[in-house]
A and B are shown apart, each in its own frame.
Chain A
Amino acid sequence: MTVRPMTGQAFFVLTALADGPRHGYGIVGEVAGLSGGRVKLKIGGLYGVLDRLAAEGLIEPDREEAHDGRLRRYYRLTRDGRRALAEEAELRAATARVVRARLGLAGAEAAG
């Protein structure tokens, strides 16, 4: 079976859920914070990612809470989601190490 690479948006959404469940707009805010404002998810984009991650079994609904007359649905990582995120983080870290080495930044990092 072909393993599909994780998109940047999916990576950020999973990371936003790594330390606990969040509702839709909470994820948008967390992703913006994690990415230093570079990734600004629109709601259509967010739910495109959420439904895909849910279908792949990487996230699941946690609970619903009433807020100002509306129900907020919270999402959490599944065990598979946690594992997939850890693997992706390791892959990205390994890639970053190679890039830094090729740019001659590895020594600076070690010295720093």
Chain B
Amino acid sequence: MSSDLERRYRRVLRLLPGWYRAQWEEDMVAAFLDGWLTGDPEADEYITRAAGPGWAEAASVAGLAARLYLGGASTPRRYFAWGQAIRRTVLAVTLVQATRGLDVLVRTAWSRQVFGWLPAPPAGIAPGSPGGILPPTVWYLVAYAWIVSFVLLVLRHYRAAQVIAALAIVPDLVWLVQGQLTGALPPTSFGPWAFWVLINLAPVLGMAAFHRDAPPVPRWPWLLALPVNYLLVAVPLLALQVTGHSAWLPDFSGVYCILVALACLAHAPRAWSRQADGSGVWSLTLTLLAANAGAYRIFSLTDYLHDPHLIKVGLAELLILVAAVALVAPDAARSQAAAPAPPLYPHPG
């Protein structure tokens, strides 16, 4: 007959995936109870009524659950696919942040005429600061911190990357809270908060998926992605700005939606071929990125409630994104089709 203590511990173990519980739960319960029970019936009766798994014990199970759900190489296919897709999504969003950081770096250097071979800096090239109580230097550091965080993530210094990214999102939060308290941010404007949650906080939390059992990040493709992304995305946008065509520029959310839509279109032939090895995880990655970009687009539309034209542009971007992600979504769904859990080792016989 199970005791209250055992029931309480089994409740905590429900955090773990079913396939893992089927394999380890009884063993974990036995080990847990061994740690509490003394063999003295009177003492044990009191313990089983009064004791329970503490916070540290529950945290250790939660940590194990996170590692299993954000699967490593030895987890079932569905968890592995989700783990890989989350890791790639985090890398992609961190790449976007790092590209923004590189853009700030180049604009700052150009505005201070560090590049002697470039023409005189046009007006408005210097990166602006959002104001508030924090000095501009902090915003420069935030931008550069994302470059450092991205590079560290690719070089597999996962915890250092997470700590730096976590520090980098603090000034934005300070700015948001200050804006909300002082009324500088309109109460109907959800865009800045959505940016903080979806583009700042989400990748920081998602970096937990880079654990010991996760396959290593392929270094060179991701390291090269930073300058390539800068040249292909940030430079054309900068060129439009300095040539006086700013009116053509979509906002950050619009650029993000269009980029994800283009990536979906580029990946669609692989997703439809079905033979392409590992295409499903990329399809799932792009679906997650589309969800992130789409959610940000929707919330950031609240910043344009005064301008119906901008609302229409934003909705068009959203429509393009939805149409593009529909091409890869079926492949994403196939990628996580549950496969039976692989036995870690044969049962003792």
CA distance A59 to B74 in the complex (A): 15
State whether B35 touches A25 (Cβ < 8 A). Answer: yes
State whether A25 touches B345 (Cβ < 8 A). Answer: no
Are A45 and B212 CB-contacts (below 8 A) given A24-B28, A60-B345?
A: no
Q: Tell me which of B57, B63, B64, B216 has the highest count of chain A C-beta atoms within 10 A of its own C-beta.
A: B64
Chain B residue nearest in CB terms to A74 = B348
State whether B31 touches A24 (Cβ < 8 A). Answer: yes
State whether B63 touches A23 (Cβ < 8 A). Answer: no
State whether B60 touches A51 (Cβ < 8 A). Answer: no
What are 23 contact pairs spanning A and B, CB under 8 A? A2-B216, A23-B30, A24-B28, A25-B30, A28-B35, A42-B60, A43-B28, A43-B60, A44-B57, A45-B63, A46-B31, A48-B67, A51-B23, A51-B344, A52-B212, A54-B344, A54-B345, A55-B344, A61-B346, A68-B37, A70-B29, A71-B26, A73-B30
Are A70 and B348 CB-contacts (below 8 A) given A7-B212, A45-B63?
A: no
Are A51 and B31 CB-contacts (below 8 A) given A44-B57, A44-B63?
A: no
Judge whether A102 is part of the interface by a CB distance below 8 angstroms.
no
Judge whether A64 is part of the interface by a CB distance below 8 angstroms.
yes
Chain A residue nearest in CB terms to B349 = A61
4 nearest A-B residue pairs (beta carbon)? A24-B31, A44-B60, A25-B34, A42-B60
Interface string of A76-101 (1 = CB under 8 A from B): 00000000000000000000000000
Chain A residue nearest in CB terms to B25 = A47
State whether B57 touches A43 (Cβ < 8 A). Answer: yes
| B3 CB, min distance to chain A CBs, angstroms | 11
What number of A residues sit within 8 Å (CB to CB) of B?
30
Judge whether B56 is part of the interface by a CB distance below 8 angstroms.
yes
Interface string of B33-44 (1 = CB under 8 A from A): 111010000000
Judge whether A4 is part of the interface by a CB distance below 8 angstroms.
yes
CA distance A45 to B53 in the complex (A): 14
State whether B28 touches A47 (Cβ < 8 A). Answer: yes
State whether A24 touches B74 (Cβ < 8 A). Answer: no
Interface string of B5-19 (1 = CB under 8 A from A): 000000000000000
Place the interface of chain B in its size category. 20 to 34
Judge whether B140 is part of the interface by a CB distance below 8 angstroms.
no
Q: A residues within 8 Å of B by Cβ? A: 2, 4, 7, 23-25, 28, 42-48, 51-52, 54-55, 57, 60-64, 67-68, 70-73
Q: B residues within 8 Å of A by Cβ? A: 20, 23-24, 26-35, 37, 56-57, 59-64, 67, 74, 212-213, 216, 344-348
The one of B29, B35, B59, B212 in contact with A4, judged by C-beta atoms closer than 8 angstroms, is B212
| A64 CB, min distance to chain B CBs, angstroms | 6
| A26 CB, min distance to chain B CBs, angstroms | 8
Chain B residue nearest in CB terms to A2 = B216
Residues of B within 8 A of A60 (CB): 345
Residues of B within 8 A of A70 (CB): 26, 29-30, 33
Are A43 and B61 CB-contacts (below 8 A) given A4-B212, A25-B34, A61-B347?
A: yes
Chain A residue nearest in CB terms to B67 = A48
| B229 CB, min distance to chain A CBs, angstroms | 27
Residues of A within 8 A of B346 (CB): 61
| B188 CB, min distance to chain A CBs, angstroms | 44
| B63 CB, min distance to chain A CBs, angstroms | 6
Q: Tell me which of A24, A43, A70, A72 has the highest count of chain B C-beta atoms within 10 A of its own C-beta.
A: A43
| B126 CB, min distance to chain A CBs, angstroms | 44
Residues of A within 8 A of B56 (CB): 42
The one of B34, B59, B62, B64 in contact with A47, judged by C-beta atoms closer than 8 angstroms, is B64
Residues of B within 8 A of A54 (CB): 344-345
Are A44 and B30 CB-contacts (below 8 A) given A4-B212, A51-B344, A63-B348?
A: no
Residues of B within 8 A of A57 (CB): 345
CA distance A28 to B26 in the complex (A): 17
Residues of B within 8 A of A45 (CB): 60, 63-64
CA distance A61 to B24 in the complex (A): 12
Residues of B within 8 A of A4 (CB): 212
